[in-house]
Structure formats: C-alpha cells, structure tokens
Chain A
Amino acid sequence: MLNLIVCIKQVPIVSELPWDSKTGTLRRELAEGMVNPSCKHALEAAIRLSDQHNGKITVFSMGPPMAEEALYEAMAMGANRGVLLTDKRMAGADTYITSLILARAIKKKCPDFDLVLCGDQTSDSETAQVGPQLAEELGIPGVTNVEKLDLSTHTLCLERQTDDFLEILEMDLPGLVTISPHYYVPRHVSLGGVQQAFDYPNVDILGTDDLELDPGLVALKHSPTKIIRVYSPATEKENIVLKGAVKRIVNELFDRFGDRIGGAMGKDLKTHDHP
C-alpha cells in the first residue's frame, strides 16, 4: 500500500484579509481560514496517486487550533486521516522551525511513508521554503515545482517546467515533492465527503510535548528568521498622453513601451521594424 503524506497550511481568505492600517500588519485572528490553494493541488495529486495505487493519505498541518478545519476539508476531499500540530510554543515559527516540527511529527506518526507532497508555496507568505527544508530534515530527496507524477514500482517519474524547458526526472522513494498549481486541479468537495469526515473523525492533535521536542523550544524565540514588517507594496500610476499624428504616436508607443507590450504578448517586437 502506498503511504502518502500531504502537508497543508491554513491561510487567511484573501478577500477577507483585514489589515491593521496603523501597524501595517495582517490581523489574522479576524480572517476566516482556508486551505492554501497550492496545498489543495498537492492533495489532489495525492488523491489521484492513492486511487491508482491503493494508497492511504495522512494530512499534516501546523497552526492554531482552528486549522483543524483545514484537515476536515482535506478528509472531505479524500484524505484518510489528519494530524494537527498545535501548541502556543509553536506559534511564530519560521520556515526552518516549521519544517523541523513537521519532520519530527512525520517520523513519529507516519515513519513508513513513501512520498510527502507539499504545495509549492503559500498564499500568505510565499517563501516556498518549507517543502525543500522538510526534505532536508527527513533526509530524503526532494524535487520542487512538480507538474506531473507517474509512479511505477518504487520509482517516481516527475515532470516540471523550468523556464523554457520540460524537465523529466526520476526519484527513488521515499521522497518529497512540491506540486505547482497547473496540472492537478483540485476537485470540488462532495457534501457526502464532508458528512463522512465528521461522522468518522480521524484527527490526532499533538503539541510540543507529544513530539518530545526540546522543552526549551519556543518557536518565536528560536526561529532564525525575524520578520521586521509586513506591508502592502506601494504602487503608483502615471498617466502619459502621447500627442501628435497617429503614426508618430504609434512609433513612440513602441519605442517607449515595446519591451513591455512584447513581454505581455510573449513576442520580441524589436525584431520587427516598424516604419
């Protein structure tokens, strides 16, 4: 049986993000949570693999107690069980401490795993670091930004797009992949799936003591990354009015903005001489 792990994160729903205008920070406690979109793609990839190879899926999430909801959402989609890592001492963990805790939890709850799947990045911090760091912590090979997976015996064949190249890689299991959000479009959650997830709850909730982490560990204090400030980037609009005859305007338009127009069109406009 294929033993799959998916790591998911609950992130604030973007449309409901309340910003504190004074401090310039997110007021996360006010936002409704959702499963990070990219994690859903990883879960979809896992469900398809599991369906093909008679697998089982354990979903791990680290976050506040409300993140339990994300695990139920994952089980409604098709995961078999969930593990929530939550503890005040875990709060404020950076990507390094997060991957350290995830690795410890995986070794404890699911040591005989075949493949770990993560989203390629989260919508709230976009570091894309937890996946690769988790592979390091677990001491297994890791491949990022995977578009397609194909499993035969114990070798995983992977496809990923890098710049203008399609890379095809092979990886021995156990291993870790992060899934890019293109091929594996997540399925809609079935209502019967939700009912079943709650009828047969299968979520373990673990804290730092359960994981036998260093009793002195306080994530916020021991995270090497310090966030100085979170803020919306300022953007400025400038209106430019081109005047004169049409031909002159068009020429000037392409002289000044040809690069950007070409970039948007995916063409090099410079190669075509315009009269």
Chain B
Amino acid sequence: MDFNPCMKHKVIRKSVRAFAEAELGPIVSDLDREARFPWEIVEKMRPLNFFGLQVPEKYGGAGLDSISYAITIEELSRVSGAMGLSITVHNSVGAYPIVRFGTEEQQKRFLPSLASGERIGAFCLTEASAGSDASGVETYATIDGDEYIINGTKIFVTNGGVCGLALIFANTDIGPDRKAPSIFIVEKETPGFSVGETEDLCGMRANPVSSLFLEDCRVESMHLLGQAGDGLKIGLESLDVGRLGIAAQALGIAQAAFEVSVRYAKERQQFKKPISRFQTIQNYIADMATEIDAARLLLYRVCAMKDDHMPFTAEASMAKLFCSRVARKVTEKAVQIHGGYGYSKEYDVERYFRDAKVTEIYEGTNEIMQVVISRSVLTRPS
C-alpha cells in the first residue's frame, strides 16, 4: 500500500494547476459575475486534451488513469468550480458512456469531436417529473423504420447552453406494452433540437445550465447507445464515474477555500495578533485539514478500484457523499474565518461557498448516495 503520489500524478497536478492559475485565475470572478462561459479558455484547453481525459489515444484523447482524471478536475475546480464542472461532465457522462458502451462505428463517429473539444458533451436525465426517480422520464423515442423520433423536455442540463452533443434518456418500446429507458446520442444540429434559457443559479454561474427541447428529433438507429432498454444500466454506470468527477470537483473547491483561509488567518490581526493564534480558529483549520485529507484519500482509493476493474458503485457514492459534505462544511468555515469579508464578493470564499452547495445535489443527491450505500451494505451477506 503506497500513499505517496507517483511522479506522473505529481506532473499532472503541476501542469493542470499551472494552466488553471495562469488562464482561469485572472478571470474567474468576472466569469461568475457575468455568468459567462469562457469560450476563449476552451480554445486553449482543446489542444491540451482536457476534453478527452480518458478517451483512448487513437480517438485523440489523453488516455489517462482515473486518479489523473480526479487530480485534473480537482485542480481545475480549485481555481474555477464551474470549469471543473464543465470538464468533468463532458468527460464522465458525455464521452465515457460512448467509450464504455459505444460500438466501434459510434466511437469512430462521435469520439474524435468530443475528445478534441469541438463538441462539448451533456447528459440529459432530469425532467420536470424525473431526477432521483429515473423511472419518471417522459421523453419518448418511437421507432420509425431505421430511425427513432424523440420528443420531450430535459431540464437542469449542465453544459446545456454550450453542448454540441447530448446523451438523451428516453423511453422506448421494448415489447408489447413494455417500455424502458434507452440512451440516444443526439447532435445539436439535429432538426427539432433546441436549447432553452440559461438557468439563473446560486453557484457555478459560469456554466450554462439550461433546458433542452426535443421536438420530433429524428436520429438514425445507430444513435442508440447499447441496446434498447439499456438506458438505466448505462446511465447508472456512467453516473458512478460522474460521481468521482463531482467528488473531485468538491475536493478542489474545498482545497481552495482551505488555502485562502490559512493565508487569511495568518494575516488578519485582531487583538494585536493574527487570528491564527486563537484556538477557535486553530480548531477550524485542524478540522478542515483533516476532512480534506480524508476526502482525498477516499476519492483516490475509489479511482484506483475503478482502474483495477473492481466494482465501485457504493464506493463512488461514498466518495461523492463525503467530498461534497466536506466541501460544504469547509467553505462554510472559510466564510466564517473571513468574517464580514467572507460574505463580500470582493473575496473568493463567497463564491466557493455558493459553488460548493450544489455538489451535494447534482449527479445524484446525497440522499440518493445514502440509498446506494446502505443498499450495498445491507444486502451483503453477514
């Protein structure tokens, strides 16, 4: 058991950190304030393989292992939670399902443009009456010869406003009076595909989360991922990977909040000494450091399980549950350490605080994480 990062992981961290600090650092507050997606940064990220983190090299990806993937998302999110979100969603639930479940024909057709960032990926499960309960999906794909016709409305789609390719959860008929969810790969220029208004959200404001409308969208049957009715299986496995990404994102936000808090506690003078000399602040810092360390170890262990081809569904949920909680708690303490300044938009901690909260909600709420974990624990033979 070796807990030291290997040389490759150190170089990955250093490289992503250097990029994020140089390119995203100077504009991250503006992006949040203007709720603007930074296309100019996307152009810089494309040749650096940020859009094909785990896509095989033959399709233009970097072919990274899962710990490298987590470190990449962590370091991007340490500077910009919203760009960390964009990249992890694109890679984990946009590209990964095609890498894992796509036919060679689908991989050849769709992966190169995803891996190069020419098309940004989105994953569309949530609807007005479906989210945690995937069986509530009302979007329907009816078969018509060699084509499917898709109708429905998806909401809260991360990357929705900028996506070039979306994986759509839609019910299909799989037998007489039997329907089941399937997943379709839909390109944005498909007639009938349109994007709604960008949501006005509390955090992650640089990511254009929006609704997507599908009105008589016709796609060839080769756009069906896996078999008809495989939607839940593919979706759930992809979400396991997505959860590792969200855990990494939460960890990056927590790390950022922790670093600025330590710096501030050493600088801020009250009663003629730095507030870091007060035991209350020391206790806060100690708890933050401990929780972040534990979160990081848990996340990397689950990433290693995935790469070792071990089952990791419950563990991915644990990592997501724990890291997002740590992010919420650490950013809340960071605001507290900063006092009034922490509540001001002049300081970054206010943004970290807003960005952190949603990590407990999306890619499966933490309550759903508890369902997944407890089910795994309680069904084990005792």
Instruction: Determine if B11 and A76 form an interchain contact, defined as CB atoms under 8 angstroms apart.
Output: yes
Map CB proximity to A onto B328-341 as digits: 1 under 8 Å, 0 otherwise: 00000000000000
Q: How many residues of A contact B (CB 8 A)?
A: 15
* B57 surroundings in chain A (CB, below 8 A): 192, 195
Complex alpha-carbon distance, A195 and B16, angstroms: 13
CB contact under 8 A between A69 and B7, given known A188-B15, A191-B15 = yes
Task: Tell me, rounded to whole Å, the shortest Cβ–Cβ distance linking B71 to chain A.
Answer: 10
Give the contacts of B1-56 with A (CB-CB under 8 A): 7-8, 10-12, 14-16, 18-19, 22-23, 44, 47-50, 52-53
Complex alpha-carbon distance, A190 and B44, angstroms: 10
CB contact under 8 A between A68 and B49, given known A34-B14, A188-B44 = no
Complex alpha-carbon distance, A191 and B115, angstroms: 12
Q: Does A136 contact B (CB under 8 A)?
A: no
Complex alpha-carbon distance, A34 and B72, angstroms: 18
Q: How many residues of B contact A (CB 8 A)?
A: 26
Q: Does A114 contact B (CB under 8 A)?
A: no
Q: Does A253 contact B (CB under 8 A)?
A: no
Instruction: Determine if A195 and B63 form an interchain contact, defined as CB atoms under 8 angstroms apart.
Output: yes
Q: Does A183 contact B (CB under 8 A)?
A: no
Complex alpha-carbon distance, A190 and B64, angstroms: 12
Give the contacts of A37-73 with B (CB-CB under 8 A): 68-69, 72-73
Task: Tell me, rounded to whole Å, the shortest Cβ–Cβ distance linking B118 to chain A.
Answer: 16
Instruction: Determine if A72 and B18 form an interchain contact, defined as CB atoms under 8 angstroms apart.
Output: no
Complex alpha-carbon distance, A177 and B306, angstroms: 48
Task: Tell me, rounded to whole Å, the shortest Cβ–Cβ distance linking B79 to chain A.
Answer: 14
Task: Tell me, rounded to whole Å, the shortest Cβ–Cβ distance linking B53 to chain A.
Answer: 7
Q: Which of A34, A68, A189, A192 has the most CB of B within 10 A?
A: A192
* A73 surroundings in chain B (CB, below 8 A): 11, 14-15
Instruction: Determine if A76 and B10 form an interchain contact, defined as CB atoms under 8 angstroms apart.
Output: no
* A188 surroundings in chain B (CB, below 8 A): 15, 18-19, 22-23, 44, 48
Task: Tell me, rounded to whole Å, the shortest Cβ–Cβ distance linking B113 to chain A.
Answer: 16
Give the contacts of B337-351 with A (CB-CB under 8 A): none
Q: Which secondary structure characterizes the binding site on chain B?
A: helix
Q: Which of B14, B18, B49, B52 has the most CB of A within 10 A?
A: B14
Q: Which of B15, B22, B23, B53 has the most CB of A within 10 A?
A: B15
Instruction: Determine if B11 and A189 form an interchain contact, defined as CB atoms under 8 angstroms apart.
Output: yes
Instruction: Determine if B14 and A190 form an interchain contact, defined as CB atoms under 8 angstroms apart.
Output: no
Instruction: Determine if B18 and A195 form an interchain contact, defined as CB atoms under 8 angstroms apart.
Output: no
Q: Does B61 contact A (CB under 8 A)?
A: yes
For residue B8, which residue of chain A has the nearest CB?
A198
Give the contacts of B265-288 with A (CB-CB under 8 A): none
Q: Does A173 contact B (CB under 8 A)?
A: no
Which of A69, A190, A195 sits near B10, CB closer than 8 Å?
A69
Map CB proximity to A onto B48-81 as digits: 1 under 8 Å, 0 otherwise: 1110110001000111100010001000000000
* B10 surroundings in chain A (CB, below 8 A): 69
For residue A76, which residue of chain B has the nearest CB?
B11
Task: Tell me, rounded to whole Å, the shortest Cβ–Cβ distance linking A176 to chain B.
Answer: 28
* B12 surroundings in chain A (CB, below 8 A): 191, 194
Complex alpha-carbon distance, A69 and B64, angstroms: 18
* B18 surroundings in chain A (CB, below 8 A): 188-189
Task: Tell me, rounded to whole Å, the shortest Cβ–Cβ distance linking B304 to chain A.
Answer: 16
Instruction: Determine if A191 and B62 form an interchain contact, defined as CB atoms under 8 angstroms apart.
Output: yes
Which of A69, A190, A198 sits near B49, CB closer than 8 Å?
A190
Map CB proximity to A onto B104-119 as digits: 1 under 8 Å, 0 otherwise: 0000000000000000
Complex alpha-carbon distance, A69 and B9, angstroms: 10
Map CB proximity to B onto A188-218 as digits: 1 under 8 Å, 0 otherwise: 1111101101100000000000000000000
Instruction: Determine if B48 and A190 form an interchain contact, defined as CB atoms under 8 angstroms apart.
Output: yes
Instruction: Determine if A191 and B44 form an interchain contact, defined as CB atoms under 8 angstroms apart.
Output: no
Task: Tell me, rounded to whole Å, the shortest Cβ–Cβ distance linking A201 to chain B.
Answer: 10
Instruction: Determine if B14 and A191 form an interchain contact, defined as CB atoms under 8 angstroms apart.
Output: no
Instruction: Determine if A72 and B44 form an interchain contact, defined as CB atoms under 8 angstroms apart.
Output: no
Task: Tell me, rounded to whole Å, the shortest Cβ–Cβ distance linking B370 to chain A.
Answer: 34
Complex alpha-carbon distance, A73 and B12, angstroms: 9
Instruction: Determine if A192 and B15 form an interchain contact, defined as CB atoms under 8 angstroms apart.
Output: no
* A189 surroundings in chain B (CB, below 8 A): 11, 14-15, 18-19, 48
Complex alpha-carbon distance, A218 and B52, angstroms: 48
* B48 surroundings in chain A (CB, below 8 A): 188-192
Which of A34, A68, A195, A197 sits near B64, CB closer than 8 Å?
A195
Task: Tell me, rounded to whole Å, the shortest Cβ–Cβ distance linking A165 to chain B.
Answer: 32
Complex alpha-carbon distance, A192 and B14, angstroms: 14
* A198 surroundings in chain B (CB, below 8 A): 7-8, 11
Task: Tell me, rounded to whole Å, the shortest Cβ–Cβ distance linking B217 to chain A.
Answer: 34
Instruction: Determine if A192 and B49 form an interchain contact, defined as CB atoms under 8 angstroms apart.
Output: yes
Instruction: Determine if A191 and B47 form an interchain contact, defined as CB atoms under 8 angstroms apart.
Output: no
Instruction: Determine if A191 and B72 form an interchain contact, defined as CB atoms under 8 angstroms apart.
Output: yes
Task: Tell me, rounded to whole Å, the shortest Cβ–Cβ distance linking B151 to chain A.
Answer: 39
Task: Tell me, rounded to whole Å, the shortest Cβ–Cβ distance linking A168 to chain B.
Answer: 31
Complex alpha-carbon distance, A191 and B60, angstroms: 12
CB contact under 8 A between A191 and B7, given known A34-B14, A73-B14 = no
Q: Could you list which residues of chain B lie within 8 angstroms of chain A, going by C-beta atoms?
A: 7-8, 10-12, 14-16, 18-19, 22-23, 44, 47-50, 52-53, 57, 61-64, 68, 72
* CB<8 Å pairs between A and B, sample of 19: A68-B7, A73-B14, A76-B15, A188-B15, A188-B23, A188-B44, A189-B19, A189-B48, A190-B47, A190-B49, A191-B16, A191-B49, A191-B50, A192-B48, A192-B57, A194-B8, A194-B68, A195-B63, A198-B11
List of 8 A-B pairs having minimum Cβ-Cβ separation, nearest first = A189-B15, A192-B62, A192-B49, A191-B49, A191-B62, A190-B48, A198-B8, A188-B19
12 other A-B residue contacts (CB within 8 Å) besides A69-B10, A73-B15, A188-B19 = A68-B7, A73-B11, A188-B15, A188-B44, A191-B48, A191-B62, A191-B68, A192-B48, A192-B63, A194-B11, A195-B57, A195-B62
